[in-house]
Structure 1
């Protein structure tokens, strides 16, 4: 995915917020691995599921962590994924299978050690 095209075409819509970030960042020194990633949070009407979607341009080990105030709520190591677009359905539950309270949470999508964090707004 071309970064400039992604920045132009991945936008917010009526069902949720779509966020774009890239590992080819100029504000981080050193080689970033040429992994372009975008992430989407699309809460459903009932607020029971949040979809964390990403796209990667090459094979990478994928880890996703959801946090609240720097405390890990849930973490999943998904293993190695090839280039493509993927989605993880987060049911709003913590590691103990308890529903988290409404509020703002953050998620981290990590590909081969390259990560970025964006906010998630849980529905009431």
Structure 2
């Protein structure tokens, strides 16, 4: 469980660092009269299968599983709801491991594409 806790915290920490760097980059671009960019990040904590896939002529490293799909669905959901330059959405399955280290707010209970059950989603606002 400690390993999963650290993985979840590191994933969210990485996303927050990306958001901070994106904001700094956008400020620089804005000052130069250049267009700014936005991004979305989805994080879900759960089991995955990782490894090299393929045959002797073509080998590719990959990550498979429902958790990967759910993270992708979090990133892609409700694209019109973009409260800042870098939207970070997590599911409750990640939130339970964050130990109150990050500021979050409820995004809602969502029906994500390809998921039978509703997913409890949260927006990461930053570090505490």
Q: Which has the higher contact order (CA 8 A, sep 6+)?
A: 2
Which has a greater percent of strand?
Answer: 1
**TM-score, structure 2 as length reference:** 0.31
Higher-Rg member (1/2): 2
